[in-house]
Amino acid sequence: MTQSVLFVCLGNICRSPLAEAALRQECANAGLNIIVDSAGTGEWHVGQAPDERAVAVAERNGVDINHLRARQVTASDFRDFNHIIALDNQNLNDLTAIQPAKPGAKLSLLFDHVEGRAGEDVTDP
């Protein structure tokens, strides 16, 4: 079974696209075939390109995110992804509130996957 990861922040224009791009790059470097995407819990940025600050950070790290477009989390994401990783506790709470009764995806925070940082938020710029 192919692993899949969805990163989620509020608007899907800064933190989650950067996390998506970083994991995609690491998977490519390691030769791993993992589906990676990002979304937001809010709807107001749907269809928009990443924030210019996120684009600049990505470019400084050799990654182009200009092609990404914001989207909102959908009910099918809980079925289509193995892991849904929130960038902060508020978005984790929002995801928990909207997840279906039998979600396929495991919910967590990004920093839950970093030793010594469990429970911490990735701050919004």
CA 93 to chain CA centroid, Å, is 15
* Residue 51 per-residue DSSP state: P
Cα separation of 99 and 37, whole Å? 18
Active site residues: 9, 15, 124
Cα separation of 6 and 64, whole Å? 18
CB atoms within 10 A of CB 105: 20
Cα separation of 59 and 26, whole Å? 15
CA neighbor of 10 nearest in space, from 56, 54, 55, 42: 42
